[in-house]
A = this chain, B = another copy of it.
Amino acid sequence: MIGLGLIGGSVLRAAKAAGRTVWGATASKEDADKARAEGFDITSVDEALGRDPEALVVLAVPLPALPDLLRKIPAGTRLTDVTSVKGPVHDAVHRYAKEVRFVGGHPMAGTSQSGWDAGSATLFQNAAWVVTPEEADDHLNDVMELALDLGAHVVPTTPEEHDEAVARISHLPHVMAAILAATGADGGPLAMALAAGSFGDGTRVAGSRPELVRAMCEGNRDALLMAVDDALGRLGAARGSLASTGGLAKTIEAGHEGRNTLVNQPQRTKITIDLTKPGALAALRNLGSRGGRVVGLNGSTATAETS
C-alpha cells in the first residue's frame, strides 16, 4: 500500500482484517508514525516496492504525485490504484510505467475527513468499487478479489465511462453545492437565520476541505466540463421558463424523475460470467454500463448482478 490517507489507510486496515499480509509506505511522516503505532508494517517507498515482486501494489496517492512514483515501480509489478479519476491515471501509467500490469480502481467510499485517522477497516462495506481493466486476466481477478474481500462489490467499466459518470454524480454535486452555498450566504444574516432542511442538505458537501474538492474536480476537467455545461443548459432553460411563462414544470418534473431513478434502482438478477472466454472483458464492461456489478468470484467465474 503506497499512501496511507483516508482511502489508503482504510485499504491497509481492511486488507489486514481480511487476513492478508500487508505493508505500507507514505510520504507523510505523521500518517506513517500513526500506522506504525497501530502495529502496521510501514517502511520506505523503495523498500515497500522491492520487497516482493509478486505482491499486489495499491497506489493511494494524489494525482500530481503519480509520475515520480510510477517511475520507481519495477517492471512486471502487479499494480492497481484507488484514485477518484481514471483517464489521467491510465495515461500516467502508460507513460511512466510501461512494463507494469495495471488495472485502475476507484472505491466509491469516503468521508469529509482525511488522513490516516479518518480511515477504517469497514469503509468499503457495501460500497461500489470501480475497476477499469484493459484485459480480462488473472491480475484483474486479483484486483476484483481484493475489492470483494474488503466488502465492496465490483463495477467494471472503461476509464472514459467512469470519468463521465463520476463527473455527474460526484464532482458536479460538489460544484452545485458550492454555488448554492455561496448564493445563499449572499442573502445575508436573515437568509442564514431562515435556512433549514433543503439548504442544509444541498450545501452539505461544501463543508469538505476545499483543496481536496478542487483536486478531485480539477483532475476530471474534461468530463466535468461536459456535466457543468449540461447543468448550465438546464438552469438557463429554467430561468427562461420562469421569466417568460412563470412556470417551472419541466425543470421540477425532470428533477423528480431523476431522483426517482436513483431511489428506485432496478431489480437485479444473478448471472455468471466466465472470465476465461473470449469477450469476457466486453461482457464485464457491458455489465458495468448497464448498472450491474460483480459480487463474487469462484476461480475464473464471476457471479454478477445485472438489471
A184 within 8 Å of B by Cβ?
yes
Query: Do A170 and B199 touch across chains, with their CB atoms under 8 A apart?
Result: yes
**Is A38 part of the contact surface with B, judged by Cβ < 8 Å?**
no
Contact flag A248-B218 (CB < 8 Å), given A178-B256, A199-B170, A235-B232: yes
Judging by beta carbons under 8 Å apart, are B255 and A239 in contact?
no
Given contacts A178-B252, A230-B183, A256-B181, contact A202 B199 (CB under 8 A): no
A193 to B166, CA, bound (A): 10
Name which of A11-19, A24-32, A209-217 contacts chain B: A209-217
Q: A192 and B291: CB pair below 8 A?
A: yes
Whether A7 is near chain B, meaning CB under 8 Å from some CB there, is no
Given A172-B180, A261-B192, A164-B187 contact (CB < 8 Å) = yes
* Residues 211-227 of A at the B interface (beta carbon under 8 Å): 213-214, 217-218, 221, 224-225, 227
Answer whether residue A278 sits at the interface, using C-beta atoms and an 8 A cutoff: no
- 4 closest A-B pairs (Cβ-Cβ)? A178-B255, A189-B291, A181-B258, A185-B258
26 A-B pairs within 8 Å (CB atoms) are namely: A128-B194, A155-B194, A162-B190, A168-B187, A170-B199, A174-B198, A176-B180, A177-B202, A177-B255, A178-B238, A181-B258, A183-B227, A184-B258, A190-B291, A193-B293, A195-B262, A198-B205, A201-B201, A201-B205, A203-B259, A204-B259, A206-B255, A210-B252, A210-B256, A218-B247, A232-B232
Q: B-contacting residues of A (Cβ < 8 Å)?
A: 108-110, 127-128, 130, 155, 157, 161-162, 164-170, 172-208, 210, 213-214, 217-218, 221, 224-225, 227-232, 234-236, 238-239, 242-243, 246-249, 251-263, 265-266, 288-293, 307
